[in-house]
Amino acid sequence: MGSGATADVFMATQVSVERSVAIKVMHSHLAHSHDFAARFQREARAMGQLQHPHIARVIDFDATGEHPYMVIEYLPGGSLREHLDEQDGPLSPADAVSVASQLADALQYAHAIGMVHRDSKPANVMFVDDARHHAVLTDFGIARLADEAMTATGAVLGTPAYIAPEQVRGERAEAAADQYGLGVMLYEMVTGHYPFRPILCTHS
C-alpha cells in the first residue's frame, strides 16, 4: 500500500472475521535501536486504548522478531495528502473546516489522556471511504518511537512543512506541536499551498 520514513504498509485479510486490515511493518533499522521492542509494545498498547471515531484503531501488534508490526483498521478512502494532490488546489471551505474539526476533536481527546501525535500531516489523515467526509488520524505513537530511535543521529523526524519550531530545535514535542501541524493543514486545505516555504534541517 505504501512506504514511509518509519514503516511499510501492506493490505491483508483477517481471515477469522473476513475483513480487510492494514499491516504497518516497522523498518528494521528502527527495531535495532536500544529497547525498541519494549517501547514498541508500550506504545502499541497505549494506542490500542484510543477509542475515538476519528483515530485509527489498532487491532493487534507483535514486537518480537526483526520487523515489529501493527495491524490497524483498513481505511480505503485514501489520504488527505492524496486528496489535496488530486484537487491541485484548495478544498471547499466547508470541506476544509469539516476535516479540521474532526482532527481537532481527535487531538483534543488524545491530549486529554496524555498522548501526543508528533507528526500531524495530510499523509497521516485517512478517509473511511471514497466520499471523504469521515477523516481519521493515523500513526499515533509511531512518531515518538521513531523519534526516540533516531535521537542519537541528530536527525529531525517529521515532514518539514508541518513540524513545529520546537521540534526543529530538537526539543520535546507537546500538544502544541500537534496543534501547529493541524493549523498548517487547515491553511493548506483552504489556500492550496503551505503558509511558508519549508526548509529541511537537522540539529546537533
Q: Which residues does the annotation mark as catalytic?
A: 119
- Cell 485509527 sits at which residue? 56
Of 116, 106, 101, 108, give the one whose Cα is nearest residue 186.
Answer: 101
- Phi, psi dihedral angles at 19 (to 5 degrees): -135, 150
Of 200, 195, 194, give the one whose Cα is nearest residue 159.
Answer: 200
C-alpha cell belonging to residue 162: 508541518
Q: Give me the amino acid identity at 118.
A: R
* Gap between the Cα atoms of 28 and 67, Å rounded: 6
Residue 191 CB: number of other CB atoms within 10 A?
A: 13
- DSSP per residue over 15-70, as a string? TTTTEEEEEEEEPHHHHTSTTHHHHHHHHHHHHHT---TTBPPEEEEE--SSS-EE
Residue 131 CB: number of other CB atoms within 10 A?
A: 8
C-alpha cell belonging to residue 46: 497505549
C-alpha cell belonging to residue 65: 522478531
C-alpha cell belonging to residue 153: 543521529
- Cell 527495531 sits at which residue? 31
